[in-house]
Structure 1
Amino acid sequence: MTDPLLTELHELALEAARRAGALLRDGRPADLAVARTKTSSVDVVTEMDIAAEKLITGFLAEHRPQDGLLGEEGAATAGTSGVRWVIDPLDGTVNYLYGLPSWCVSIAAERDGETVVGVVEAPMRGETYHAVLGGGARCGERPLAVRPAPALGQSLVATGFGYLPERRAHQAEVVRHVIPRVRDIRRGGSAAIDLCDVAAGRVDAYYERGLNPWDLAAGALIAREAGALTGGRPGEPESGDLVVAAPPGLFGPLQELLEELGAWHD
């Protein structure tokens, strides 16, 4: 039986992501500049990140004013409905700043702390990835499914890097040891898209340290609904320490390798 609340949240997330994606795609100024920085001088925010979050939060507040909000660019409202929206208005900001196409809008809805809806809008791909808990994952109308698990040595693995120099140095050391043990590594620059690429079978697996809730909430649900397992260190859920996503059969070996290499610390 369809849950009317989940249907409503899904439709709102799709529309908010579509509007924000169109704003970012069509409204990008030719002289786009950095508005401010966050964790380091290379961790940037543009005026368009801020404008997209304002658009999303305004749209959601208009339709569901009692809901909570958590956004990368500062939105933080507790809400009273049991529903919280987790928003990354522009995942892949550095790509966007440089005119690279791998960026997206990521919107998730939580109900009582559990992610129940995820939408990742990737305008330059012309693709909308979306999922409702228990309902499978899709790109547009096309159902998504992870690839059958290859052996670790035959796996194509996506990853990303943080912005703090000491973290990057350790992440590079981890990758140095991962590369000989897998088919190859991909680094796209958007965690949400990487998770969707696992869901779509475009990569076999993904891992990264240092993600925030807005980076992974929607993409992780989409990956799970497409058949992936997600988690952090062995026996733990995904977190800022580590996120791993892969199909059953590959998830365990990759997670064990990352634990051995200390991918969960700087």
Structure 2
Amino acid sequence: MGHNSATGTAIREQLAVTHTTDHSELYQDLLHIASVAAQGAVELIYTNRPSSFQIEQKSSATDHVTEMDLASEDLIKRVIAAHRPEDVVIGEETQAGLNHNRESASEVVWFVDPIDGTTNYVYNLPGYAVSIAAQIDGQTVAGLVADPTHSRTFTATLGGGSFCNLEQLQLNRPTDRSSEEFLATALVATGFSYSAERRARQGKVIAELLPKIRDIRRLGSAAVDLCSVAGGRVDAYFEVGLSAWDFAAGALIATEAGAQVGSLDPGSTETEGILAASPLLFGPLQELLCMLGAARV
């Protein structure tokens, strides 16, 4: 998971999703390329996982990058370049392509997280993923999240629905509960910062949130968390401090499954948080999280 924070404005732009499209063939082509790249990355990091690998520190003693992250990102970039050499590819680890406002013959920009949940990967703990998203004009049009330890591959195209292993996802929408009752029984996923000081503030928010919901889950990958919302494995997910490669693919997958995905605090231009939930739950949970200061930790 990336540690570089995006601005509130950038997150709102990344999460702007509509359901009208005249380019479904292009979007499917982009998804196919993502699928080929992800298959290669999964084979590299999971099927042929080495018994040992080099680990380096990034922003803190708890924030790591492994040689497998770097190798996976390189493989994905090479696959994309082989199919679409003019596209810009922005990867978490090398971040090459961050000058994607430059003149380009292509309108497509890719966001790649080669191992989202590197800490899980280091510990050989299930719940890491390969996340690949293609965007046009700042809008995600194709997304794939491969969760190899659970044998799940989530995919979506803009306006084309959301799928897990080719089975269409449809968000559970309870009709027998009010939004307030749903909130009180909601299973909510979240993530925490690599900064110890920020984690302490986040812990205080969680302590106040817990008595008002069913429970909290901390899985370790933003991409998997968003897909868990899409698949009904959790009712909601929120987090601050993410970058586009963390959430671009998962946000489209959740949205296309029927979730509402947006900013954690719509009243602030400074927030960097994301919230995904059923439309029935989104408003009450967003209001509660804002009241608890979750977007300002």
TM-score for both structures, normalised by structure 1: 0.95
> C-alpha distance in 2, partners of 1:235/1:170?
21
Structure 1 position 190 matched with structure 2 position 221:
yes
Correspondence for 2:230: 199
Correspondence for 2:10: none
| Equivalent in 108, 113, 121 of residue 83 of structure 1 | 108
Asked if the contact 1:69/1:84 (under 8 Å) is kept, the reply is yes
Asked if the contact 2:36/2:79 (under 8 Å) is kept, the reply is no
Q: How much does 1:227 deviate?
A: 0.3
> What's the Cα RMSD here?
1.7
Report the 3-state secondary structure (helix = DSSP H, G, I; strand = E; otherwise coil) of the residue aligned with 1:146.
Answer: coil
Q: How much does 1:22 deviate?
A: 1.2
Structure 1 position 233 matched with structure 2 position 264:
yes
> C-alpha distance in 2, partners of 1:23/1:215?
20
Change (3 A) 1:57 1:177: same
Correspondence for 1:172: 203
Correspondence for 2:6: none
| Equivalent in 12, 24, 33 of residue 3 of structure 1 | 24
Structure 1 position 146 matched with structure 2 position 166:
no
Correspondence for 1:128: 153
Deviations 1:119-163 (A, max 9, x none): 001111111000000011000111112222561001000111110
Q: How much does 1:249 deviate?
A: 1.0
Q: How much does 1:4 deviate?
A: 2.4
> C-alpha distance in 2, partners of 1:33/1:168?
26
Asked if the contact 1:211/1:239 (under 8 Å) is kept, the reply is no
> C-alpha distance in 1, partners of 2:79/2:268?
31
Q: How much does 1:257 deviate?
A: 0.8
| Equivalent in 134, 138, 142 of residue 113 of structure 1 | 138
> C-alpha distance in 2, partners of 1:83/1:159?
30
Asked if the contact 2:132/2:145 (under 8 Å) is kept, the reply is yes
Asked if the contact 1:33/1:97 (under 8 Å) is kept, the reply is no
> C-alpha distance in 2, partners of 1:251/1:22?
37
| Equivalent in 258, 268, 286 of residue 255 of structure 1 | 286
Out of 60-69 and 148-157, give the one that drifted further: 148-157
Q: How much does 1:235 deviate?
A: 3.0
> C-alpha distance in 2, partners of 1:3/1:28?
35
Structure 1 gap segments, 5+ residues each: none
Q: Pick 1 or 2: higher relative contact order, CA cutoff 8 A, min separation 6.
A: 2
Report the 3-state secondary structure (helix = DSSP H, G, I; strand = E; otherwise coil) of the residue aligned with 1:256.
Answer: helix
Q: How much does 1:238 deviate?
A: 11
> C-alpha distance in 2, partners of 1:237/1:186?
26
Asked if the contact 1:85/1:110 (under 8 Å) is kept, the reply is yes
Structure 1 position 98 matched with structure 2 position 123:
yes
Correspondence for 2:39: 18
> C-alpha distance in 2, partners of 1:218/1:210?
17
Q: How much does 1:75 deviate?
A: 3.5
Asked if the contact 1:119/1:218 (under 8 Å) is kept, the reply is yes
Structure 1 position 220 matched with structure 2 position 240:
no
> C-alpha distance in 2, partners of 1:239/1:214?
20
> C-alpha distance in 2, partners of 1:239/1:52?
33
> C-alpha distance in 2, partners of 1:140/1:23?
20
Code of the residue aligned with 1:144 in structure 2: it is L
TM-score for both structures, normalised by structure 2: 0.85
Q: How much does 1:239 deviate?
A: 9.1
Code of the residue aligned with 1:17 in structure 2: it is A
Asked if the contact 1:22/1:123 (under 8 Å) is kept, the reply is no
Q: How many pairs does the alignment contain?
A: 265
Asked if the contact 2:86/2:106 (under 8 Å) is kept, the reply is yes
